[in-house]
Amino acid sequence: MSTSVYSSPILTTFPFNALTTTFTPPASCSGIYTSGEVVIIDEDFACLPQGFTSSSTNYFSPGLICPAGYVTACNDNAGVSSVTTVTCCPYRDDITLGCVTPSTLSSVWETLFCTWIAPDSGTAVQITVSNDGTTSTERITMTSPGGINAMGVRMVYQSSDVSKAVTTTDSDQPATTTGATGATPTSTSGGSGSGSGNDDSSGISLGAVIAIAVVIPIVVMSAAAGIFFFIRRQKQAQRLHSREGPGGPGGLGSVVDQKGHYGAVGPAGSYYDPKSPLSAPSEVSGVGAFGNRNRHLEAVELGDRRPAVELPA
């Protein structure tokens, strides 16, 4: 069997073969298939954008958007600095294929620009197998150096292509433009038929709406808190007034005499000293512990008193 070796072409011009909208493959293209000795994704051209060929010199030009189910795997400016080449590779679940260096491709892999190599520990992969017209699905464990391959979708573009795409993309369909650092989502907004991203006549700006939404709740909450504390202070003042009454604290008038046990406060705040009294301490009726007079009921100590005797006339 003859073996051919791929050599990277140096291209300076590309035929017009645009890929500027998102291509979505049919649902039947979601599997992983076997083709001879190769495990492959999207071998059927129906699973790839219109205009795709397996030729090593085939590029979508200008190509700005990878198909659904594909990611930007690599890009470079090796040929012409003003032209960027991009290779989009497919993914399935947690398996994402990457770029293959074109100069390493040969034989049946010559046009398979994307690949994934299984780890040494192995990975379970569900593949679709066709034998004698019978198609079945099997779950196998793939280990290195086994892997999965794909032709990939290759594109070229220059900066002017990107700027044109951004200004002409329909505002209702966000576009993903592929740049030097990978896929970057770019979208336009506003009404239909306008290339401008902002419509100055649409009313209040987004910043003003956000400011209003933040400030109004704060003002309302502050006002509510002020009213709450004002009412609370008024109620506390009313309760304090009702307790004190017209005669001072407690509503019972000022207490003139509060002396009792040693060290108690006497009239006008004087201090009673039992060692040098002005007069001998006398027992005051109605004085309880700590020299506090019973404010509600003053008891009179009667002592040992005999009943009155009626005197003769």
**Which pLDDT tens digit goes with each residue over 22-31?**
999 999 999 9
pLDDT of residue 305: 53
Would you call 254 exposed, middle or buried from its count of C-beta atoms within 10 A (0-12, 13-18, 19+)? exposed
pLDDT of residue 186: 31
pTM: 0.50
**Of 43, 56, 60, residue with least CA distance to 4:** 56
pLDDT confidence of residue 35 = 82
Which residue, among 23, 14, 65, 63, has the nearest Cα to 161 in the 3D structure? 63
Residue-wise pLDDT for 131-183, tens only, equals: 777 888 999 999 999 999 999 999 998 876 665 555 444 444 444 344 433 34
Tell me what the mean pLDDT of segment 110-120 comes to.
Answer: 94
Q: 267-298: string of b/e by CB count within 10 Å (b at 16+)?
A: eeeeebeeeeeeeeeeeeebbeeebebeeeee
Is 210 or 218 the better-scoring residue by pLDDT?
218
What's the distance, CA 163 to chain centroid? 31
Q: How far apart are CA 175 and CA 163, in angstroms?
A: 12
Tell me: the pLDDT tens digits for 15-59?
788 999 999 999 999 999 998 889 999 989 999 999 999 888 889
Phi and psi of 241, rounded to 5°?
A: -65, -40
The predicted pLDDT at position 269 comes to 45
pLDDT-wise least confident of 111-120, 203-212, 254-263: 254-263
Note whether 160 and 126 are within 8 A (CB). Answer: no
Nearest to 143 by CA among 125, 124, 120: 120
Reduce the DSSP state of residue 100 to 3 states and report it. Answer: coil
- Cα gap 73→170, rounded to integer Å: 26
- 187/99: higher pLDDT: 99
Q: Are 144 and 125 in contact (CB under 8 A)?
A: no
Residue 71 burial by CB count (10 A; 0-12/13-18/19+): exposed, middle or buried? middle
- What gap in Å lies between CA 135 and CA 133, rounded to an integer? 6
Identify the band that residue 83 occupies on the pLDDT scale cut at 50, 70 and 90.
confident
Bridge partner list, 36: none
Q: How many CA atoms lie within 13 A of 151 on its CB side?
A: 20
Q: In 10 A of CB 70, how many CB atoms? A: 27
Average pLDDT over residues 225-249: 73
What's the pLDDT score for residue 58?
Answer: 86
Is residue 248 within 8 A of residue 256, CB to CB? The reply is: no
Q: In the chain, which ranges are continuous DSSP H helix?
A: 159-168, 206-244
Which pLDDT does position 23 carry in this prediction? Answer: 96
Amino acid at 147: G
Distance (Å, whole) CA 85 – CA 75: 5
Q: Residue 207's pLDDT is what?
A: 57
Instruction: Using the predicted structure, report yes or no on whether residue 304 has a pLDDT greater than 60.
Output: no
Contact 30, 41 (CB under 8 A): no
Q: In what order do the strands lie in the sheet with 123-131?
A: 98-99, 114-117, 147-150, 38-41, 33-35, 123-131, 134-142
Confidence of residue 99 (pLDDT cuts 50, 70, 90): very high
Spatial distance between the Cα atoms of 253 and 94, rounded to a whole number of angstroms: 87
